[in-house]
Amino acid sequence: DSAGHARRPHSSAYHDNIAFVDAGVRDMYERFERFFGHDGRTAYVFTADHGMGDRGAHGDGERANTETPLVAWGAGVARVAAHAADRKST
């Protein structure tokens, strides 16, 4: 969040911070898997509190600021389209 505000979302500092967070998530995932013996019975849910626009803001109501990711994987999670725009509305 602070890297996006200070350096903007497309800066190398922001991308470096994403890599740092990704490594932390990967480490936590691997710890859980080891702890539970890779039993295939664990589900994971990952989200954020808000998005961020190109200017590094998140309170102005811009769509990129109000849409947040929700990623789930693991036991009991069915595979679906990667993004809502990829699905056809009925």
The β-bridge partners of 72 are 45
Q: Is the pLDDT of residue 7 over 80?
A: no
pLDDT band at 20 (very low <50, low <70, confident <90, very high): very high
| pTM of the predicted model over 0.85 | no
pLDDT band at 5 (very low <50, low <70, confident <90, very high): confident
CA-based nearest residue to 21, from 88, 69, 82: 69
Note the pLDDT tens digit of each residue in 29-86: 999 999 999 999 999 999 887 777 777 777 777 777 778 888 899 999 988 766 555 5
